[in-house]
Every structure is written in structure tokens, then in C-alpha cells.
Amino acid sequence: MRLVRPVVLIALVAGSGLCVVIRAADPGQSTFSESFENGSNTGGWSFGRPFYETIESEGGNPGSFYHCTNVDSNGAEVATTPGVESPFVGDYRARGVISVGVDVAVFGGNGTFPKPEYSVWLQDDPDTPADPWDDCYVYLVNPRPAPRPDGRWVSYEFNIPSSSQTLPRRWALALCAGVTADQAWNRVITGVDRLWFMVHQHELIYQQWDVGIDNPTVTWTTTDPSATLRPVSPPFGTPAEISHCLDQFLETRPKVNKSHNNAVQPSAGGRACEGFTTAFARRS
């Protein structure tokens, strides 16, 4: 893990065996950054393709990085593993989370790259790991374009207005059936079970990606280390299975009717995941 500044706080979470080391960033802030050095992988980052994934000892930004040579998807999704305690999940509002970020490099792919963007997704699972259809996602697209397939590292930072009581500007929803946009935001931001980063394309184009990440980072303002962690439920299926259905919602951007503050409905058309769409319609 890569840590920022020399002021160190160490907390051992009772019963978990997890030792969290954090350091102060700017005054009043703490930052945790996973550098993947010495085989470390706090949060269990995965592209959902374990046979193609490894921690490389060099070539990162700098040093080690997490590498997947074959991500078969629309968005080269990478996410924390459900059930793994880490600073990347939990009650973002209580901790005062203000930003997350990641460095990304695309080394190649066998398809086209039609002006994609890069996005962050926050997922809440209401302690029903066997039912993915009641999950709620909020996401934000970074204005900086997604990396080109040239092996160069690109750094992304996403501001997280965790204190906001309403869905922030430029944020959107996926799933979150039966609630308003503001209710969905408050649900997710106070109970993040999974943090995702992914390419956000406007066309549904599947391809094989050779991609790496380095330095996934979270910055917060509380000084209570116990607020860093939250136990989460095990996943329904594998990361690849969950992200496959989530891919379908990236075909077109969901739109929020802000005048009525309605939750987002999935767009019609495209190769939508049948179970995903059916379950959403049933719960809406």
C-alpha cells in the first residue's frame, strides 16, 4: 500500500484481524492508497477474471500494479470484492469521504475505442447477497477521456460530496427501484458495499482489454479509524457475472427527472440483461 504524509494512525479492528494504516494528507484529511507493493491488495481489487489477473512487480505508476491481460467486457470494470473490509467501503458520510481516485493504463484491446469516458460507481447491497436486483448504484463520469490503448498511465480523481443530502449534480443512478433519486443517493452514500471504476462508453461494444490499475485511493476527513471499516455481505455470483448485467445499463446514460426528483429508469432497447430488466420492472 502507498501512504501519504508522515503522520500515522494504526487501528486493529477487533475480531477482524485487519490492521489499517492511514496517514494524514492535507490538514484535517487522511488518505489511503493501495500501491500493490509486496503483493498487497487491500479491498480485494479484481477485474472478475482471476485466471488472467496478477500483481506485476514493475511497470506501474510507479512500481507494482494490478494487471489483467484479458478483460472481456464493455467497460474493463474493476471493483473491490464484496465481503472484504477496507477503507474503500462503508459509510462515506460518517467518515467524511471527499474523493476517490485511481491510475489506469490500457495496454491493448481487440476492438474499437470510440471516445470513451471513465467513471466511478458506488454500490449498496441491502444485506441480500442472493438478490442483486434490489441493489442500488450511483455513478459519476469523469470529464477526462478514458485511457487510449497505448500503455500510458492516466490518473483520475472523483469528488465525492458525501455530506450532500440530495443527488449531486452530474451524478446518476442505475437500479435503485422504488425510491427517489435523493433517497437512492442517501442510501448508497451511507452504505457503500462496493467501489467500482470502469470505462463508460456510449455504444455497447464488447472487446478484450489488456488493462492495469494502480493507486486506488480514498480521502476522508474524520480522524476516527474505526469509521474506516464496515463488514459487508458476500457477493451474488462473481464480479464478472454482476458486471455483465451492469454493462447493459452503460449502453445509454440514465437520465434523472430533476423537476420531479424521480429515480432513474433503465433505457429501453439494446441488448439488455433479461433478468436485470425483468426484475427491475417487477420492483418498480
CA distance 13 to 7: 19
pLDDT(103) > 70? yes
The whole domain housing 118 covers 2-283
Residue-wise pLDDT for 47-82, tens only, equals 999 999 999 999 999 999 999 999 988 788 999 999
Specify which residues 74 forms β-bridges with: none
Letter for the amino acid at 17?
G
The number of domains in the chain is 1
Q: Confidence class of residue 174 from pLDDT cuts 50, 70 and 90?
A: confident
| Helix-helix angle 274-283:239-248, to 10 degrees | 70
Look at residue 204 in the predicted model and tell me its pLDDT: 61
Per-residue pLDDT for 282 more than 60? no
pLDDT band at 229 (very low <50, low <70, confident <90, very high): very low
pLDDT at 212 > cutoff 90: yes
Q: What is the CATH number of the domain that holds 34?
A: 2.60.120.260
Residue 215, CA atoms < 13 Å, CB-side half-sphere: 20
Of 224 and 259, which is predicted with more confidence? 224
